Amino acid sequence: MPRFSWVLIIFGALTVEICAQCSNTGAHSPASVVNNNVIGSIPWNNPGNAKSSDNSVAEASFLVLGTNSQYLYATGFGFSIPVDAVICGISVQIEKSQTGLLGAISDNAVYMIKGGSTHGSNQAKGGNWPNSDMVVNYGGEGDLWSGSWTAADINSSNFGVAISASISINLLKRARVDHISITVYYSMLLPVELREFNAYRENNDSVKLHWVTASEEASGTFSVRRSLDGDVWNVCAELQSTGTCCGGKDYQLLDFNPYPYETFYQLIYDNFNGDEAYSRIVVVPPAKTSNEHLVIYPNPCDGILNVESTWIKSKYYLSDIYGKVVMSGTLPNDAGQLDVVDLLPGIYLFRLEADGKMKSRLMVKK
Cα 13 to chain centroid distance, Å, stands at 16
Beta strands at 357-365 and 325-331: parallel, antiparallel or unpaired: unpaired
Examine the pLDDT at 158 and tell me if it is beyond 70.
Answer: yes
Instruction: Return the pLDDT at 365.
Output: 87
Average pLDDT, rounded, for the chain: 83
Q: Average the pLDDT over 293-297 and give the result.
A: 81
Cis preceding-peptide flag for 43 (omega within 30 of 0): no
Q: Is the pTM of this model over 0.85?
A: no
Tally of CB atoms within 10 A around 20? 18
Q: Give CA 141 to chain center in angstroms.
A: 20
DSSP conformation class of 80 = -
Average pLDDT over residues 80-92: 91
Q: In what order do the strands lie in the sheet with 206-215?
A: 6-10, 250-255, 206-215, 193-203
* Chain centroid offset of residue 272 CA: 9
The pLDDT-based confidence of 275 (bands split at 50, 70, 90) is: low
pLDDT of 347 higher than 50? yes
- Angstrom distance (rounded) from CA 35 to CA 296: 74
Neighbours of 90 (CB within 10 A): 27
3-state secondary structure 153-186: HHHCCCCEEEEEEEEEEEECEEEEEEEEEEEEEE
Cis peptide before 300 (omega within 30 of 0): yes
- In this prediction, residue 6 has a pLDDT band, given cuts at 50, 70 and 90, of very low
Angstrom CA distances, 113 to 27, 100, 106, stand at: 17, 30, 20
pLDDT tens digits, one per residue of 215-274 = 665 556 788 999 887 778 888 888 777 655 555 678 888 888 888 777 889 988 876 556
Cα(150)–Cα(31) distance, rounded to whole angstroms? 21
Longest dimension (CA), the chain: 106
Residue 11: the pLDDT is 32
In whole angstroms, give the CA distance from residue 271 to residue 249.
16
Confidence of residue 191 (pLDDT cuts 50, 70, 90): low
| Range with the poorest average pLDDT among 20-34, 227-241, 282-296 | 282-296
What does the buried/exposed string (b/e) look like for 169-193 if buried means 16 or more CB atoms within 10 Å of the residue's CB?
A: ebeebbbbbbbbbbbbbbbbbbbbb
pLDDT, position 176: 96
User: Average of pLDDT values for 117-127?
Assistant: 95
Identity (one letter) of the amino acid at 300?
A: P
The pLDDT, as a whole number, for residue 2 is: 32
Q: Would you tell me which CATH number, out of the four given (3.40.190.10, 3.30.70.270, 1.10.357.10, 2.60.40.10), belongs to the domain 6-19+192-284?
A: 2.60.40.10
Q: Where in the chain is the domain with CATH 2.60.40.10?
A: 6-19+192-284, 294-365
Per-residue pLDDT, 151: 94
User: Please, what CATH class does the domain formed by 23-188 belong to?
Assistant: mainly beta
Task: Report pLDDT for 8.
Answer: 41
**DSSP SS3 for 140:** strand
Q: Identify the weakest region by mean pLDDT among 33-37, 218-222, 348-352.
A: 218-222
Q: Is the pLDDT of residue 123 over 80?
A: yes
Is residue 290's pLDDT more than 60? Answer: no
Domain with CATH 2.60.120 in the chain: 23-188
Sequence-ordered list of residues with C-beta below 8 angstroms from that of 280, at least 6 positions apart, any chain: 197, 266
Residue 167 pLDDT more than 60? yes
Measured distance CA(71)–CA(57) in Å, rounded: 15
Q: What is the pLDDT of residue 227?
A: 87
Q: How much of the chain, in percent, has pLDDT values that exceed 90?
A: 43
The CATH number of the structural domain formed by 294-365 is 2.60.40.10
Give the whole-number percent of the chain exceeding pLDDT 70.
Answer: 85
Which of 49-53, 205-209, 287-291 is the most confident on average?
Answer: 49-53
Contact 278, 268 (CB under 8 A): yes
How far is CA 71 from each of CA 172, 174, 264, 347, rounded to the nearest angstrom?
A: 20, 15, 64, 61
Better-predicted residue by pLDDT, 48 or 290: 48
**Alpha-carbon distance 23 to 82, whole Å?**
12
Round to whole Å and give the CA distance between 162 and 113.
7
